[in-house]
């Protein structure tokens, strides 16, 4: 059965500067994985490198993914949407030197209301490690919304984790990632079960074949997994 959102205000930890700092630390230990995952987003954008692009980064946090694209494409501009005021505050501070090329908007992705906050169209919609916080139903709706926002020739690329196809794979992926990170993580590293009540919002990862099917059903073509390591992936499609 599809996991459903519990009756709770999810994600409040993303308003806590201490939690964000400890998340950043964990992310930093996985730097070698995250870099490949995010660079795949940057390099898979189909437009010529000097074309002025308008990007939308969903669940952008302080805008790390959008910043990576802007560093590669000097004529690109980005709108970063996130639900956390604290993340947006950090993002505005960190992007102060970008001369207004990065704009932050606060809004919730788990309801269709976010579309009213962000006038399209965009050349690319991108996201990193955020959309697993949406239920499957919410993510399917979001994929359709996103398709409607993208100009023909554009793309949607999501760098996120997905649900392993079996418990055996879950264990092997987890062990492999723990050995990969620097320094290697001990057994105490916490696991994040599907739909569990976590301080930073429940996780609703989908099987990769479902995620790809939802993208195709939303209207995207050339849908594929562009990069994958254990159950981390960068996947998407084109309009
Ligand atoms: C793990 S962080 C990733 C941030 C950023 N994309 C990155 O990779 O650095 C997840 C982000 O998703 C945002 N988020 C989670 N659920 C959300 C929702 N329902 N609506 C809007 N933002 C949400 C959180 O506020 C947080 O900034």
pLDDT digits 0-9 by tens, 47-59: 999 999 999 999 9
Q: Which position has the token pair 């995010």?
A: 38
Do the Cβ atoms of 238 and 220 come closer than 8 Å? yes
Q: 180-218 in b/e burial notation, b at 16+ Cβ within 10 A?
A: ebeeebeeeeeeeeeeeeeebbbbbbbebebbbebbeeb
Mutate to test the pocket of ligand 1, among 133, 192, 198 (most ligand atoms within 8 A of CB): 133
pLDDT of 162-205, one tens digit each? 999 999 999 999 999 999 987 777 654 455 566 665 667 788 99
| Spacing of C-alpha 201 from chain mean position | 14
Please list the pLDDT of the chain residue by residue as tens digits (239 residues). 666 665 444 457 899 888 898 888 888 889 999 999 999 999 999 999 999 999 999 999 999 999 999 999 999 999 999 999 999 999 999 999 999 999 999 999 998 889 999 999 999 999 999 999 999 999 999 999 999 999 999 999 999 999 999 999 999 999 999 999 877 776 544 555 666 656 677 889 999 999 999 999 999 999 999 999 999 999 999 99
Can you name the CATH fold of 14-238? Answer: Rossmann fold (3.40.50)
Whether a cis peptide bond, with omega within 30° of 0, leads into 121 is yes
In short, whether 84's Cβ falls inside 6 Å of ligand 1 is yes
133: Cβ contacts below 8 Å, ≥ 6 apart:
10, 11, 59, 109, 110, 201, 202, 203, 204
| 228 Cα: distance to centroid of ligand 1 (angstroms) | 21
């Amino acid at each position: 059965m599809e996991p459903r959102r519990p009756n709770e205000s999810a994600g409040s930890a993303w308003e806590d500067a201490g939690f964000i700092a400890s998340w950043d630390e964990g992310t930093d230990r996985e730097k070698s994985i995250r870099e490949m995952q995010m660079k795949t987003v940057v390099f898979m954008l189909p437009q010529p490198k000097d074309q002025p692009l308008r990007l939308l980064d969903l669940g952008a946090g302080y805008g790390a993914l959008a910043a990576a694209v802007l560093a590669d494409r000097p004529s690109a501009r980005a709108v970063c949407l996130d639900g956390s005021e604290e993340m947006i505050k950090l993002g505005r501070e960190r992007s102060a030197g970008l001369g207004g090329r990065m704009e932050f908007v606060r809004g919730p992705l788990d309801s269709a209301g976010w579309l009213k906050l962000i006038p399209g169209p965009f050349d690319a919609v991108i996201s990193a490690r955020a959309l697993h916080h949406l239920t499957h139903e919410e993510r399917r709706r979001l994929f359709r919304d996103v398709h409607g926002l993208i100009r023909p020739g554009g793309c949607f690329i999501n760098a996120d984790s997905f649900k392993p196809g079996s418990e055996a794979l879950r264990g092997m992926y987890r062990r492999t990632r723990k050995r990969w990170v620097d320094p290697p993580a001990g057994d105490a590293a916490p696991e994040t079960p599907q739909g569990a009540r976590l301080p930073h919002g429940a996780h609703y990862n989908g099987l990769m074949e479902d995620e790809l099917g939802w993208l195709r059903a939303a209207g995207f073509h050339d849908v594929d997994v562009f990069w994958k390591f254990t159950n981390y992936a960068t996947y998407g499609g084109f309009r």
